[in-house]
Structure 1
Amino acid sequence: MAATDNKTAQVASGAKKAKKTTIRKKKSKFGFTKGIAHIHTSFNNTIISISDEAGHVVAWASAGTVGYTGARRSTPYAAQLAAQSVAKTCIDRGLKAVDVEVKGPGPGRESAMRALASAGLTITSIADVTPVPHNGCRPPKKPRG
């Protein structure tokens, strides 16, 4: 009993030791701070995937997952919201810079890139990786209407 009374007496008299506080650099939850943003735009939808430099996808969003359906998915605004959504999750996990690879002819190309930059990600390079055939297969007929 005497030992417990002694401890309470020390606490009551103010004989506490001051704790040392150390400031640490914030670590990335991904384990890396630079990635690749793959923006795949078609005439119907825009899909944005963020991967590490090895190509493993860590976060993605599309105009459909943001909540748009039908013809509204193909708008530049829907692509902007998808890019903001994926950028927010990546910034929260410690990603700072991305290389952008854009694929496809859709209307959301520019707005998705601008949204990534305005969300706080640093864009280090932009590459257009749209596949172009060297006179391969015959393309589908043009839509009527």
Structure 2
Amino acid sequence: MSEEAPKTPKARKPKATAPDAAATAAAAPVTDVTAAAGAAPAAAPERKEITAKELLGEEIGEIKVRRAKGSKNITVGIVHVLATFNNTKVTITDANGNVISWGSAGRHQFRGSRKSTAYAAQVVCQEAAKLAMAHGLKDVSVRVKGPGMGRDSAIRALQLLGLNVSSIVDTTPIPHNGCRPPKRRRV
């Protein structure tokens, strides 16, 4: 019986790759006199502090208000926010109740449980307000209805766009022991 020595794998040579830029730059002769003298590298650009307004402007996107074709020239309006547990709807009307613009979470491609989020309400309110601002809207009073999550974020979105919010009224209907409510959920 002959004993064989355990086989060891052969060492592989590393594959030849293209030389990286740092290695070739180090090998290249120095022709610049200031670089050879060891002068200080170029000063780094100064970092500018970003203000809150700039941050919010990036989040919202650039607010470009174009005048609508059939512009109605309405400066004062009412924003009706319906925030339910399943959706958020925003309707902007003039003082007489004629609809200028509207939006809902489903219209802006939110589906399922995402429709009831505060972010969806913010997006809906921004888009409806931009359309209304194209008709000249500047001052609004807000009427909020319902218990949903989008109540506060919708109002905040209006203020960020630059609309002057003159009043906020809660118009949630409260029964004086009217209809019998639905049965309790057993979870």
TM-score in terms of structure 1 length: 0.78
Letter in 1 for 2:96: A
SS of aligned partner of 2:106: helix
**Conserved? CA contact 1:38–1:102, under 8 Å:** yes
- Residue in 2 aligned with 1:54? 96
Indicate the structure with greater helix content. 1
Aligned pairs, number: 119
1:59-111 per-position Cα deviation (integer Å, ceiling 9, x unaligned): 00011111101000000000000001011111122110111000011110000
- Residue in 2 aligned with 1:116? 158
Indicate the structure with greater strand content. 1
1:1-58 per-position Cα deviation (integer Å, ceiling 9, x unaligned): xxxxxxxxxxxxxxxxxxxxxxxxx9x9223200000000100000000000011111
Report matched runs for 1:89-108 at 5 Å. Answer: 89-108=131-150
Q: Would you identify which runs of 4 or more consecutive aligned residues in structure 1 move more than 3 Å?
A: 142-145
TM-score in terms of structure 2 length: 0.61
User: Which of 55, 67, 79 pairs up with 2:121?
Assistant: 79
- Residue in 1 aligned with 2:170? 128
- Give the root-mean-square deviation of aligned CA atoms: 1.5
Letter in 2 for 1:66: H
Is 1:138–2:150 an aligned residue pair?
no
Unpaired stretches in structure 2, ≥5 consecutive residues: 1-66
SS of aligned partner of 1:94: coil
Is 1:43–2:103 an aligned residue pair?
no
- Residue in 1 aligned with 2:10? none
User: Which of 32, 40, 43 pairs up with 2:74?
Assistant: 32
SS of aligned partner of 1:67: coil
Identity percentage of aligned residues: 51
